[in-house]
Amino acid sequence: MSGVFEEDDDVDEGPKGNQGEIIETDDFPMRVLAGAGTGKTFTMVRKVEHLLRTEQTSPQNVLALTFTNKAADSMRRKLNARLDTAGYDIDAYTYHSICHSILKEYPYYADLPSGFTVASDADKFELAENAVEEIEYQFVNPDGSYRHSPPEALLNFISSMKQEGVRPADLETYLPSGEVLVELNEMADRIETAARNHLRRQSLRDGADAFCDDLETFALELQLEQKSLGTSPLEEDIGAYLQQLIETTETIQARIRTDSDAIDHGAKQAAVRIPAVLFSGYGSEGNRMTRKSDFPTGIPKLPFTLIDRLRTYLEDCQRAADFVTGYRAYETQRLDSELVDFDDLIHKAVELLRDDDLAAEIAGQWDYVFCDEFQDTDSIQFELVEALAKHNRLFVVGDDDQAIYEWRGANSENIGSKLTATYQPNLIDKELDLNFRSKQPILNLANDAITALEDRRSDKQLTAFGKKRDATDGVAYIDTSPPDGEDALDDDEYQANQITTAIAGLLRGDFDPVEESYDLEDIAILVRKNRHAEPLIQSFGEAGIPFELVGDLATESVGVETVLAYLRAIAAPSDDVSVRRVLLMRYRLSEADLRLLADSADRLIDAVFSANPSELSEPERFVTARDHFHHLFSRRHLLSVQQLYHELLHTTDIEWFLTHTERRELKGLEELIAEYGDGTSQPPLDADFLDYLDHHDSITDVTDSAPNEQGESASDAVSIMTIHKAKGLDFPVVVMPELTADQWAPRARSYADLVEAVNGCGFWEADQIKRDQQEARRLLHVGITRAEEQLILCGHGEAPETPDEGVTLDYIQRWIGDGIRWDVSASSFPVWEQIQESLPASAQDWTELVSEASPRQTEAVATYDGGELTYQAAVETVLDQADRLLNGTLSDGEPASINIQSDAFTTIETPSIRRSHSYTSLGTVEDCARKHYLDHVVYAPELPRRLRPSVDSDGSETDTNDAPSVTATDTGASNREIGVLFHETAEAAIDRNRTERSEWREICEQLAVERGLEQALEDALDCVDRFFQTPVADWTLLSAEHSFGIEIEDYYVVGEIDCLARRPDGELVVLDYKATESAKGETNRQLPLYILACEELFEESITTAGYVYVGDVGPDIDLRTYDDDRLEDARTRILGGLQKANTSSYADYTTGEHCKWCPHNELPCSGLHGE
């Protein structure tokens, strides 16, 4: 699903409502506040079109700024559809990419090297890893926290500072020494003690004047602390805050005198405890008052006290004092590496544009500047737009009601008061409030929810378009309070079952309140936090409802986590948690067996290799697990990460234990694995790769590479995503779970107060918690307005607390001085109560309808053999067919007899993905196109080995399951293992410039131990000896394992050249080692392929390539020279192979000797099954 007027089918739509007025006016600058679903992108595109059609400017003179490349491309595409190719001539950029373009054109003016590059997330993490070594930790745990490692914590800090333009020098100027920070913390302890000594009261029996005298004494102690402060900017801020506390004591005195009767013997008697509470006089010494039990009788729990907020601020300053050293080291290393990180792009460009002459030259390229989603811009992006639109021909569109990225540094005032102040009195204001997406009851709820927002900048009310305006249905709610009783589920499980029941009914089309039925892709679950998806994953899986986790949630998949656990267990065998997960989730070992294994050895993996299977309740499963682990451990140093990953899938058949959804989600993991390494080769699986995986999510959390990238909805499953990822999308059905006050509670933002202070605003003058509360209201509005036809709200209220003696949070707020802007009542967002107050009269209560513990499974859900099957019957039928497949009694049949279309296996003429080829894959396609397709295109999972026919060397079927894939030597090592050990020996020797036979043998012995290849050592040493009996040993060996990726016409080919050597006569030669038992033929593709690669890799001409035989057919060397004619003949052969490889399909296959060892020989094409 996509937003209104977001697809190309809007090309011929005409403007509606006041869109036409906005499009056709020639007034600038203009601000358009466009509500959700009102066609803001449509309006902006048509306005650009209007300018071009009326010849007010040319396409290349229009600059459009968006937040995502997808949005920029969409704008070009829409304009192209309206204006032919002229639409692609407009300059559509993201805010970061325009800055990158400017800096690339003017690097020297920005004090950048001409070859600077933008740092990747991996680059940034490496810089941070080095930078933390420079930190002399005084306040921060050098080992990190349970949430973030030290590099992650540093990156988090740096990103927070850079978003607001705070540099290391700014922090170093503001912060005092570590000793002073310690003293300031001790000062907070002294103030707390003074509050405990002077302000704690149970009543006013000594009179209001006596209490006020004690308050005066307390104020004097604050003044003494004030006078002891130094002159650093932080200490000056602390002094100013203490002045606010002194003024608060005056406010308290006035309140005591005003309300003395009510406090002495009326409804406000508990108020006598407020002063001590505000100054932490009731907490345990040195600790924050965070628990209800910390507050005395009659006083509601406060989100903070005035001293707690001081402590929190000082702790931020202490962390900053440690991290600023790492920040500076990070910046120094970044500059030395000629890197610019994402946050620097805009800052550097803005600094450049502060030069009037350069600004005039750069901004003069465009007559008009258009900005999308302007409410999500931050302060530095606002300055960028202002510099690029000096001519005032600016058009900004956005919605202050959808400003949901302030937590990432966005400033919603940019589209409000800041824009007004900058462009008044010429700024033209327009609104779009005609909604083309949702039914009116849904919009009524959205309107009511956002109207409660304080300081809202507009009063627009969304109105539905057309027939949807007259709708009376569309809103339903479910109270998720679990029933009482011993067997009751916990809150999350109960809610997940309720939602599952509702969705199952909507999919079946028999849910009583709703007449329509819906497809999977019509439904979205929008959550506020990632963890809210976890119970739904479990419930959907049990109910058989396909779902897809979108965006950040993709890392929550149970199946993906199990595959990751296997990789972790192979790389780090001491990781008992991962080993246990694999044994439980893949091999289904019982809890009793797992406990027995855990008790039998220090490490669980050692127990796997040493335990007696007969002592376990499931010995066959255990033996399978042990064999798989043994096999994968033996391969982990021989294969790259990507190769080992596919070996894992091949060996363990783990994909057979995953749902369709989980198998689909493996694509994300496969993309991560493919990106690992230097781009041309990959190292084996080790701890570095685990760090790469672990850091991937956390890096995206703490960097700003795509702060508001829109998610992609699923095409054949229910979408589960965060509300942030859903912005810009819409769905016929939207479900919003976890609408409870505790899950939507506002919170302060790390370092936000410090940033405010460094930029000149006192930390007590900005209410970060209140800002987050307001953003939570806008987030609710965004979630509601994603729904087109049916909105389902799930949550429950909390038992209201009756304030004792009439003291409320609002009343306590009046005891705090006016200079302190914090609101103690802003810590709560009673979201469910406010939804209930705003529900339209037609809203339906679905609570009773979904009260069953699980979705109904008695209706017909499938057809088989001419009849209908219930859910349970369908499951039993599938299992029965699977049993028949296993025991060989499943009958053959034409595809059409089981409703498989006759063209299901036709050749795919245009591959859906661009294929990458290699010498190995070209050899595979010569044997069998089907095997190539399965092995090198789709990486098809194989059936368990017990289902594969096994053969003797003569091709007849046997009972063994050990059909060899490689030839074994007398030592028990395979030719592959011998070859790998020799290749690694040669590579290490050449890299280390070792030229003596003894040095090569020593390296070989070391690698055999390190790689677990002792069984191949004797044969590999023989290969070393044979190598030194060839002339090559006396040549200059220049390079080993040189990776390449080249284009041959339209095909991409990758590979590795074993060795590049220079002969005594000066000629460069390409060499390939062969430890095999046979020599290569004259017409192979490998050597000419290497020659073609060298034409792109090296400037010096290379025409000779050859094989160095170090196996049983050696020692020998076979050199071949390729003149133009021979190379052209070889090129023709290679192209022929590439064409075959690029069009291979499942439908084409060739039977032969190779079928005996094919990993897919369970298929009928192998001819090994008999009749």
The confidence score (pLDDT) of residue 790 equals 95
Are the CB atoms for 1002 and 1085 separated by under 8 Å? no
37: annotated binding-site residue? yes
Structure tokens, 87: 């639409």
Q: Which of 435, 467, 500 is the last residue of a domain?
A: 435
41: annotated binding-site residue? yes
888: annotated binding-site residue? no
pLDDT band at 694 (very low <50, low <70, confident <90, very high): low
Burial class (CB in 10 A: 0-12, 13-18, 19+), 772: buried
Q: In whole angstroms, what separates CA 1045 from the centre of its chain?
A: 29
Per the domain annotation, does 1153 fall within a domain?
Answer: no
Decide which of 406 and 697 is more confident. Answer: 406
Decide which of 457 and 350 is more confident. Answer: 350
What's the mean pLDDT in 54-78? 83
Per the domain annotation, does 137 fall within a domain?
Answer: no
Q: Are residues 219 and 205 in the same domain?
A: yes
Q: Are residues 525 and 542 in the same domain?
A: yes
Beta 368-371 vs 30-34: how paired, if at all? Answer: unpaired
40: annotated binding-site residue? yes
The answer on pLDDT for 3 being more than 50 is no
Q: Are residues 585 and 638 in the same domain?
A: yes
Decide which of 938 and 20 is more confident. Answer: 20
Are the CB atoms for 769 and 710 separated by under 8 Å? no
Structure tokens, 692: 């790469």
Q: Are residues 200 and 310 in the same domain?
A: yes
Q: Which of 378, 407, 435 is the last residue of a domain?
A: 435
Q: Are residues 720 and 779 in the same domain?
A: yes
Per the domain annotation, does 451 fall within a domain?
Answer: no
| Contact residues for 1136 (Cβ-Cβ < 8 A; gap 6+) | none
Per the structure, the complete domain to which residue 543 belongs is given by 475-547+714-850
Decide which of 942 and 564 is more confident. Answer: 564
Are the CB atoms for 178 and 139 separated by under 8 Å? yes
Per the domain annotation, does 373 fall within a domain?
Answer: yes
- The secondary structure element, H or E, covering residue 335 is helix 306-336
What's the mean pLDDT in 46-74? 86
Q: Are residues 561 and 623 in the same domain?
A: yes
Structure tokens, 967: 């030839």
Quickly tell me which residue has 């103030």 as its tokens: 191
Are the CB atoms for 792 and 736 separated by under 8 Å? yes
| Alpha-carbon distances, residue 674 vs 124, 711, 806, 1047 (angstroms) | 20, 22, 63, 19
Per the domain annotation, does 469 fall within a domain?
Answer: no
652: annotated binding-site residue? no
CATH number at residue 1074: 3.90.320.10
pLDDT band at 1158 (very low <50, low <70, confident <90, very high): confident
> What is the per-residue pLDDT across 165-222, written as a single tens digit (0 to 9) for each?
899 999 999 999 999 999 999 999 999 999 999 999 888 888 899 999 999 999 999 9
Q: Which stretches does DSSP call E strand in 705-797? A: 718-722, 731-739, 787-795
Quickly tell me which residue has 């783990």 as its tokens: 654
Q: Which of 386, 419, 435 is the last residue of a domain?
A: 435
What SS3 state is found at 863? strand
Q: Are residues 531 and 643 in the same domain?
A: no
pLDDT band at 467 (very low <50, low <70, confident <90, very high): very high
| Alpha-carbon distances, residue 1149 vs 933, 934, 979, 1160, 1171 (angstroms) | 10, 11, 30, 12, 19
State whether the Cα torsion 60-63-67-72 is positive or negative. negative
The confidence score (pLDDT) of residue 441 equals 95
CA–CA separation, 1077 and 967 (whole Å): 10
Lowest mean pLDDT among 71-85, 109-123, 887-901, 1103-1117: 887-901
Number of domains the chain contains: 7
Q: Are residues 518 and 598 in the same domain?
A: no
Lowest mean pLDDT among 67-81, 145-159, 243-257, 1030-1044: 67-81
Q: Are residues 835 and 722 in the same domain?
A: yes
Per the domain annotation, does 537 fall within a domain?
Answer: yes
CATH number at residue 660: 1.10.486.10
Q: Are residues 539 and 556 in the same domain?
A: no
Is the preceding omega at residue 142 within 30 degrees of 0, hence cis? no
pLDDT band at 1051 (very low <50, low <70, confident <90, very high): confident
Per the domain annotation, does 843 fall within a domain?
Answer: yes
679: annotated binding-site residue? no
- Residue 956 neighbours by CB distance under 10 Å: 10
Per the domain annotation, does 192 fall within a domain?
Answer: yes
Look over the chain and give the mean of its residue pLDDT values, rounded to a whole number: 83
Q: Are residues 490 and 574 in the same domain?
A: no
CB-based burial, 792-818: b 16+ in 10 Å, e otherwise? bbbbbbeeeeebebebebebbeebbbe
972: annotated binding-site residue? no
The confidence score (pLDDT) of residue 965 equals 37
Provide the whole-model pTM: 0.67
Q: Are residues 665 and 721 in the same domain?
A: no
38: annotated binding-site residue? yes
What SS3 state is found at 742? coil
Are the CB atoms for 781 and 402 separated by under 8 Å? yes
CA–CA separation, 1114 and 75 (whole Å): 64
